[in-house]
């Protein structure tokens, strides 16, 4: 059949995976191939993978989805559903919890991480109550790179459920969600090993990927849709799937899996090289001192977050930019808020918020000579700033 | 500054418009250029244009956004916010209204359109009550192509507000929203001329566009965000903007504006040619008759929706597909629901839902010879099906 006439422009300018004609079916098979690939990488089932517009949407769908479902199951006299999370989550988790709290749809407990940026699993466990429906703890932090003890938290939740079953009876809650957006490039994503029920991924942090989000949802966990609309993604996420971006995401994720181990090792070496140079520069050459934010023992290999005492980090980022170096002083998602980084403030609540920390986050094309150039530039910049601030 | 070192991989694998470094600022200026272009085409202000992931999200943001804001303003004894809409809206409007109703967040009145697929503005006006916060009526229907009297409905709403102000005092409500996703290729999008407060667009129906949605929001109208997260899009739509897709959308929309008039005229002629051929075929050659669904006087130039009595439309779509012709029998967004088209059922409630209607939606590359081939194929297909069904 050489001839093909497309008279379905009202469905979409390009063939739509939900259309029942031949081209629709072909597109659908590509979509499902990508879903199978993502499922395999996560150690999940095909029916447990849902495509969204990005990490923000996946986190919202996980959190709001659990809360809405618990409302549907609740009796009038039941307490509000309760969420446990930490104070260094990404805004798309933290602000969503606050949104639900403000709308009187949920009660939220925010656990402070320790001064090294790691949450204590026992504090999570202690916060769980009979009305707790969700625990949401990020896999790795976006600002300081700390990797959270996800497996230990999962174990505490399982233990709570077992103990609870003996007294109050078995419950599907609390559900355990992790935001793995920053972890994707370097850490193991197997949902069984991690022990999570919901997991968020985003294409935006993966080189060569399309701009889509993924939500893994364990088949036994029920969550409700946020959007009303069509039947796509099992009705959980209405709206025509963005096939071109999904294909790119799936391809980039596969490529990543093959490179992950080698690239992690390379970046750990590069990070350590960077740190030695930074230490030498700040302590001996400039004598201004330096604080490493986070916990190098439990950290992503690509993120270094440092504070030079008395030097405002926003200013440092702008000075670095003039040298052609793109770094950051807080989550770009919160760059318009006047306040400094809430993550850094959490680690050192008594410090001046203006000082904050500078994040260097490396990637596939970062090389040793780039680090040398950054150090050279920093010496110039800090020699100038030291006169004004220190 | 030849040298450029990107050390912001944790923000995004590509520069992020919210970053404060030089590359972030450059990306931001492209984003704002696109926003300005879209605003100009809609006759709106730059600050009134918000980018989302698609039409489904824009419709949800408009409807849920108005309802959440009205809840924030409400006293405990106030009635639930009330929405007026029609029974042929896209699922992303209709199902969102039902979702809010099921969650006891809103009361919904659904107005039946007339048998020609056009809503009577007086019926909309009659449904408006003191607690009505939103009227949502689509600009043009996706299945039968009927164009709704948006200006007349806007006039009725303004008149209601004026009358209301004399008795109950002035109110910002009801807000008027239109889903212009199907209208974008052929109709005038000027929000002032239309008299709307909220307008939805989607890139998915525009050839050459990126996959993004737009929500126009009049500056005087307040709506709440659905997602919790970062500060992007004025906080109304958190999540890193999909710049590559937004640029493509903006470019395609400009191109469209230049071609709109000429392309509309071309398609009206092609549509009329198609209809004459269909009439001849069904009435004289095959003697099975034919019903045109919708109202050709008030219709998009590219959509023809027809019913051949007793011939199931799903079957016809599959037979056409075997001839290489991609048509449709209902909204692709509802293709997985077993039921027939709810739009066709609305126009002829007594007819067998299995019969439905077949939609041919033409586009920029549809030519006269394609129509001739469709007619030739239909004669073969219907000659066979006539023996079985008629």
Whether the CB-CB separation of A144 and A293 falls below 8 Å is answered with: yes
Whether the CB-CB separation of B203 and B56 falls below 8 Å is answered with: no
Is the pLDDT at B39 greater than 50, yes or no? yes
Whether the CB-CB separation of A37 and A45 falls below 8 Å is answered with: no
- Report the pLDDT value the prediction gives residue B23, as an integer from 0 to 100: 86
Whether the CB-CB separation of B100 and B109 falls below 8 Å is answered with: no
- Report the pLDDT value the prediction gives residue A383, as an integer from 0 to 100: 96
Give the position of tokens 């659905």. Answer: B226
Per-residue pLDDT, averaged over B100-127, amounts to 97
Whether the CB-CB separation of B227 and A56 falls below 8 Å is answered with: yes
Shortest alpha-carbon distance between residue A251 and chain B (Å): 15
Look up the pTM and report it: 0.95
Q: Please say if A97 is a catalytic residue.
A: no
Residue B259 at interface with chain A, using a CB cutoff of 8 Å: no
A69: confidence class by pLDDT, cuts 50, 70, 90 = very high
Q: Which residues of A touch B97 (CB under 8 A)?
A: 228
Whether the CB-CB separation of A179 and A138 falls below 8 Å is answered with: yes
Q: Residue A303 pairs with which residues in a beta bridge?
A: A361
- Report the pLDDT value the prediction gives residue B335, as an integer from 0 to 100: 64
Q: Which residues of B touch A90 (CB under 8 A)?
A: 229
- Report the pLDDT value the prediction gives residue A335, as an integer from 0 to 100: 63
3-state secondary structure of A152: helix
Give residue-wise pLDDT tens across range A306-358.
999 999 999 999 999 999 999 999 766 666 666 789 999 999 998 898 899 99
Shortest alpha-carbon distance between residue A322 and chain B (Å): 7
Q: Report the C-alpha gap between A328 and A361 in whole angstroms.
A: 8
Give the position of tokens 């050390």. Answer: B7
Could you give the angle at the alpha carbon of B192 between the alpha carbons of B187 and B196, nearest 5°?
80
3-state secondary structure of A326: strand
Provide the chain B residues 26-85 that lie in CB contact (below 8 A) with chain A: 52-57, 59-60, 68, 71
Active-site hit among A74, A247, A333, A379: A333
Q: Report the C-alpha gap between A225 and A287 in whole angstroms.
A: 55
Give the residue among B57, B86, B90, B53 at the shortest CA–CA distance from B334: B90
Closest in B91, B206, B239 to A53, CB measured: B239
Which among B108, B141, B228 is the top mutation candidate for probing chain A, defined by the most A β-carbons within 10 Å of its own β-carbon? Answer: B228
Closest in B13, B227, B327 to A206, CB measured: B13
- Report the pLDDT value the prediction gives residue B89, as an integer from 0 to 100: 98
- Report the pLDDT value the prediction gives residue A338, as an integer from 0 to 100: 63
Residue A368 at interface with chain B, using a CB cutoff of 8 Å: no
- β-pairing verdict for B82-86 and B132-136: parallel
Q: ipTM beyond 0.90?
A: yes
B18: confidence class by pLDDT, cuts 50, 70, 90 = confident
Give residue-wise pLDDT tens across range B271-297.
999 999 999 999 999 999 999 999 999
Burial-class residue A78 by CB neighbours within 10 Å (0-12, 13-18, 19+): exposed
- The answer to whether the Cα torsion of B246, B252, B253, B254 is positive or negative is positive
Please say whether the structural domain B22-255 has been given the CATH code 3.40.640.10. yes
In chain B, CATH 3.40.640.10 sits at 22-255
% of chain A exceeding 90 in pLDDT: 86
Residue B367 at interface with chain A, using a CB cutoff of 8 Å: no
In chain B, CATH 3.90.1150.10 sits at 260-389
Q: Which residues of B touch A380 (CB under 8 A)?
A: none
Give the class (CATH, top level) of A260-389: alpha beta
- Report the pLDDT value the prediction gives residue B1, as an integer from 0 to 100: 44
- Report the pLDDT value the prediction gives residue B22, as an integer from 0 to 100: 85
Provide the chain A residues 177-216 that lie in CB contact (below 8 A) with chain B: 182, 204-209, 211
Give residue-wise pLDDT tens across range A230-287.
999 999 999 999 999 999 999 999 999 999 999 999 999 999 999 999 999 999 999 9
Virtual torsion, Cα A341, A342, A343, A344, nearest 10 deg: 60
Give the residue among B386, B300, B314 at the shortest CA–CA distance from B356: B314
Pick from B51-55, B71-75, B284-288, B291-295: least confident = B71-75
B337: confidence class by pLDDT, cuts 50, 70, 90 = low
The mean of the pLDDT values for chain A is 94
Q: List, in order, residues 6 or more apart from A223 with CB less than 8 Å away.
A: A61, A62, A65, A66, A68, A69, A198, A217, A236
Q: Which residues of B touch A367 (CB under 8 A)?
A: none
């Amino acid at each position: 059949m050489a001839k093909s006439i497309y008279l379905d422009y009202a469905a979409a300018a390009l063939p739509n995976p939900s259309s029942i004609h031949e081209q629709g079916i072909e597109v659908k098979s590509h979509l499902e191939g990508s879903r199978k690939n993502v499922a395999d990488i996560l150690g999940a089932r095909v029916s447990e993978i849902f495509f969204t517009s990005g990490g923000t949407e996946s986190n919202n769908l996980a959190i709001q989805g659990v809360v809405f479902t618990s409302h549907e199951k609740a009796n009038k006299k039941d307490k509000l559903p309760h969420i446990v999370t930490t104070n260094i989550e990404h805004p798309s988790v933290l602000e969503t919890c606050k949104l639900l709290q403000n709308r009187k749809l949920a009660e939220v407990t925010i656990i402070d991480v320790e001064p090294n940026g790691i949450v204590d699993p026992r504090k999570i466990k202690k916060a769980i109550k009979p009305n707790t429906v969700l625990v949401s703890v990020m896999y790795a932090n976006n600002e300081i790179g700390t990797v959270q003890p996800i497996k230990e938290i999962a174990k505490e939740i399982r233990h709570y459920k077992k103990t609870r079953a003996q007294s109050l009876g078995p419950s599907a809650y609390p559900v355990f969600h992790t935001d793995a957006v920053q972890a994707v490039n370097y850490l193991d994503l197997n949902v069984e090993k991690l022990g999570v029920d919901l997991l968020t991924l985003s294409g935006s942090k993966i080189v060569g990927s399309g701009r889509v989000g993924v939500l893994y949802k364990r088949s036994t966990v029920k969550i409700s849709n946020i959007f009303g609309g069509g039947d796509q993604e099992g009705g959980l996420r209405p709206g025509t799937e963005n096939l071109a971006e999904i294909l790119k995401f799936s391809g980039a994720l596969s490529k990543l899996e093959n490179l992950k181990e080698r690239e992690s090792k390379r970046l750990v070496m590069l990070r350590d090289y960077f740190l030695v140079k930074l230490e030498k520069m700040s302590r001996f050459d400039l004598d201004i001192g330096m604080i490493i934010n986070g916990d190098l023992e439990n950290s992503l290999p690509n993120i270094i977050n440092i504070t030079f005492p008395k030097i405002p980090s926003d200013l440092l980022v702008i000075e670095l930019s003039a040298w052609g170096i793109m770094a950051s002083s807080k989550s770009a998602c919160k760059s318009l808020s006047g306040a400094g980084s809430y993550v850094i403030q959490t680690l050192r609540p008594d410090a001046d918020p203006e000082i904050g920390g500078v994040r260097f986050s490396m990637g596939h094309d970062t090389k040793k000579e780039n680090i040398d150039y950054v150090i050279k530039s920093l010496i110039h910049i800090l020699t100038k700033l030291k006169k004004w601030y220190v």
